[in-house]
Amino acid sequence: MSYISPENWSPADGFTLEPAAEIAVKAEMNNLILAGPGAGKTELLAQRACYLLQTNLCPSPQKILAISFKTDAAENLKKRVELRCGKELASRFESRTFDSFAKQLLDRFRLGIPEAYRPGKDYNIAFSQREIQDIVTGYIKERHPNRPNWQYEINFNILFRRLSEDRLPVFENGEDIYSWILVRIWDILVHGREGLSSTLTFPMISKLADYLLQHNLLIKKALQMTYSHVFLDEFQDTTYLQYELVKTAFLGTSSILTSVGDDKQRIMGWAGALSDSFEQFKCDFNAGQIELTQNHRSAPRLIEIQNVLAKIINENSTDARVSSSHSEQEGKCEVWNFQTHIDEAIFVASNIVKRIQHGDITPRDICILVKQQEQIYARAVIEELGRQGIHARIEKEYQDLLAEECVQLIIDFFKLATMEKTHESWLRVSELLTYVHGYDLELDHKKILGIELELNKHISQVKSDLNELSTDLELCEQRIGEIVEGIFSFIGIEKLFRLYPKYSKGSYFNKLIKDTVKKLANAYEKYLDWSNSIADILGLFSVPIMTIHKSKGLEYDTVIFLGLEDDAFWTFRTQRLADMCTFFVALSRAKTQCFFTFSNSRETLRYGDIQVRTQSSVNISSLYQLLKDANVDVREITDINDI
């Protein structure tokens, strides 16, 4: 492998970096990169990876570790690095989520954990607080000497938080009922009990990974020698638990850390995000600070409004600069006021349909955002869009699923069996087969050719099986499940699990496959055509609908935010800054147009019932004031046909 000298390196694919970004890409020290919306942080991290790999400043065989919050963000960064510097170098770039990083450590070095906290090899993962609550009340049989009715007296939210955050080992404190429970529940969850398998939550996995590194200096040293550089994405959302793991692993080592974030998009406080993560990182890791100021995403008019809001969130905020790709007057932002949510639905749907029919954008270029309760807030819009021939869907059911490698593999096989022009799918599947069999692309041509011939045969079999599917949904779902099982048998399930260890423990893999099979069957029942069914699952025909939290890291030509109202921002009085940041995230997803709606009456979920309630904007009047200060037009929509 020939490398480029650092002084001769230039950005991949002719990409031009702003001066601050070029400094960040080539930095040889720990740095915090302040990157606002549209600053191109994914590209910056990809170019930095290319620089380090192509110049061998990340010396072979060492690797770069990139940690993101969301599966799709980790996958996007991985693909971007492969695109920029090729698969050979990109094989030394690991892109993971925090959960995946912690789980990999636990699964690989589980036996290094002291027996008192060592989980079973095939532990299950609990995804909800309710599962833990049921285990606590069902499996702790002992009576507390002073609190015999503790099950009915404690706050399970506090217990769940402490299960995640209290340092290991946990000790019993006679004055603290929670410590009494924690000692017992850790033992039950880690070791299993009376038919209950070893069961962990992802925060517990992170805690155990941290405990592992603290007790095994050789493992910790091996980790540090493996990764010469570490990237931390969306750093403003880092939790105490995640930051502790990063510090345990890399503080005081030669590994160079690059954190990227934006304090104006700190919207995960409810999930335990640190309020001062930037300052802690700079202090702990003696890190410099670099600020990117160019916004490559949004049109000038939208950037003007973002800058007004940014100054309110942080008075020291630097104004974002407009990209040269936009014309000076480009961009549009309005508030639409309606009498009822039905009027809102008709107007919003008609506006979307008109834009799509004019041919300038696709359904996927438009996003409908809500603060909460997307099934309720967007229900009337979904129904009205359906009446006008446009499909819209709640995106959270698909986002994480489609980012999973095993799901992508299923989709690739179905594409190869049913569609033309699937060159990318063929490359991905054949390369995966080559990799899991341990073949060398340069030396094992005959073996690889043999694999590709077998792949062709199996694709033909899948095609034949799919052509014979029943139109009965239950039978169809059962047969698709068998076809998918055949795909993984062809690849070799053990080989796949070695490649992706996260699938080898518990019921996670089976749950993913079950969900995917169900969605494939439902899509096929709708279209009876695989080309359209796959496109539907990928969302190519649908207007995506999601909460603001789910929209982090995404961008759309047009964003329509439903419900700029007090009921939606019910925490505004007590969490004003967090809600301002949430509003900023919504506004900054848009490239050219952003609209906010207000309705005098709206369906909301209250005490478990859907009720039509009168809406107001008194509590969030400061949000309306900042829009007014930014000269955003407010339209009273009295004629819903006046699009």
Q: 144: buried, middle or exposed (CB in 10 Å: 19+, 13-18, 0-12)?
A: middle
CA 21 – CA 30 distance, rounded (Å): 15
Distances (CA, A) of 143 to 137, 180, 183, 184, 582: 12, 11, 14, 12, 45
Q: What is the dihedral of CA 142, 146, 151, 152, to 10 degrees?
A: 150
- 226 contact partners, CB below 8 Å, separation of at least 6: 62, 63, 65
Residue 37 marked as a ligand binder: yes
CA 234 – CA 219 distance, rounded (Å): 27
Task: Compute the residue count for the chain.
Answer: 643
Tokens representing residue 396 in the block: 């959270």
CA 361 – CA 356 distance, rounded (Å): 5
Tokens representing residue 411 in the block: 């989709």
Per-residue b/e over 228-245, b at no fewer than 16 CB within 10 Å?
A: bbbbbbbbbbbbebbbbb
- 441 contact partners, CB below 8 Å, separation of at least 6: 434, 448
Phi, psi dihedral angles at 180 (to 5 degrees): -60, -45
Phi, psi dihedral angles at 372 (to 5 degrees): -160, 170
CA 592 – CA 166 distance, rounded (Å): 46
Residue 359 marked as a ligand binder: no
Bond into 169 cis (ω within 30): yes
Residue 269 marked as a ligand binder: no
Q: What is the dihedral of CA 625, 627, 631, 636, to 10 degrees?
A: -90
- 19 contact partners, CB below 8 Å, separation of at least 6: none
Contact between residue 569 and residue 616 where contact means Cβ atoms under 8 Å apart: no
Residue 38 marked as a ligand binder: yes
CA 16 – CA 554 distance, rounded (Å): 22
The beta-carbon contacts of 73-77 under 8 Å, at least 24 apart in sequence, are 73/42, 73/233, 73/234, 73/553, 74/100, 74/403, 75/403, 75/405, 76/42, 77/42, 77/45, 77/46, 77/233
- 548 contact partners, CB below 8 Å, separation of at least 6: 267, 369, 370, 371, 561, 582, 585, 586
- 617 contact partners, CB below 8 Å, separation of at least 6: 564, 565, 566, 598, 623, 624
CA 477 – CA 524 distance, rounded (Å): 10
Supply the DSSP string of 238-287, one letter for each residue.
Answer: -BHHHHHHHHHHHTTSS-EEEEEE-GGG---GGGTB-TTHHHHHHHHTT-
Supply the DSSP string of 278-319, one letter for each residue.
Answer: HHHHHHHTT-EEEEE-EESSS-HHHHHHHHHHHHHH-TTPPP
Residue 42 marked as a ligand binder: yes
Residue 35 marked as a ligand binder: yes
Q: Which residues are annotated as a binding site?
A: 35-42
| Residue positions forming the annotated binding site for ATP | 35-42
